Amino acid sequence: MTLAQAQRRQQSREGIASVIETRRLILRAPRLADAEAIAAVANDLRIAENTARLPHPYGVKDAEAFVFEASRGNCEAAFLITLMSGEIVGVCGITTAERRGPELGYWVGAPHWGHGYATEAARALIGHAFTNQGHATLSARVRVSNPASRRVLEKCGFQWSGVELRRIRAIASAAPFDRYQLDRGLWASITDWGKTLARAHC
C-alpha cells in the first residue's frame, strides 16, 4: 500500500475512527496531514531514548511511516494526543502484536511535560481499551530511569510486575525497563469511568 492509498483509506475511515475526548484533550487517529507537526514534536532525543521504537533524529518521513502503519490497523490502535485547539502534544496507543497481550504506550512532547497530559490521555485510553475494545488486562513498560512515566502508570492503577531488558532504537542499545500490569477489575474498582471518558465515539 502506498502513502497515497493509506491516505485515501484513512479518509474513508475518518467517519468511524475512534475519537476520545477528555476534559482538556482530544485523542484521534493520525492523518498524513499531521506528519510535519508530529515530526516537530517527536524529534527530541529526550523522548526517543525513553521509548523502544522511536528513531532519532525523527523526520517527516518517519511520521509518514507511523501514519501509514496506524492506518493499516493490524496490531495497534494509535491516537494523537491533541489539545482542544488542535495542537499535537504526543501519541498514545494500544499494541497487540506481542504475545504478552495488549500493551499501553505513550509519549508527550517536552514542551508539554508537567501538565498531567500523559496521565489524562492514559486514563482515557485505558477506559477505551477495557470498555470498547474488550480487553481484560493491559501491560505497560517504562524505562527504569524515567520516574515521571512510572508515576503516570501508578496513578492509573498499574502494578509493578518485574524488570526486563529492552532494545531502544534511538540509542542502538538495550536498557532495563519496569514491567507493569493492570486488570480490568482493579481499574473498575478505583476509577469512575464516566469521568475518565467524557465522550467516546467509535
Please give the full DSSP string across 42-55, using - where no structure is assigned: H--HHHHTTSSS--
φ, ψ of residue 77 in degrees (nearest 5): -105, 105
Residue 125 carries which side chain, given as an amino acid letter?
A: L
- pLDDT (0 to 100) of residue 74: 64
The mean-pLDDT minimum among 11-15, 28-32, 52-56 falls in: 11-15
Q: Which residue has the higher pLDDT, 15 or 131?
A: 131
- pLDDT (0 to 100) of residue 96: 85
pLDDT digits (tens, 9 = 90+) for 181-192: 999 999 988 876
Alpha-carbon distance of 9 to 21, in angstroms, equals 23
pLDDT above 70 covers a percentage of the chain that reads 83
- pLDDT (0 to 100) of residue 13: 44
Report the mean per-residue pLDDT for the chain: 87
Is it the case that residue 202 has pLDDT exceeding 70? no
Is it the case that residue 46 has pLDDT exceeding 50? yes
pTM of the model: 0.85
- pLDDT (0 to 100) of residue 195: 47
pLDDT digits (tens, 9 = 90+) for 64-88: 999 999 888 666 789 999 999 999 9
3-class DSSP state of 36: helix
- pLDDT (0 to 100) of residue 132: 87
Mean pLDDT throughout 55-72? 94
- pLDDT (0 to 100) of residue 11: 44
Cell readout for 145 is 530511569
Mean pLDDT throughout 153-176? 96
Alpha-carbon distance of 181 to 153, in angstroms, equals 9
Candidates 132, 140, 31, 133; CA nearest to 82 is: 31
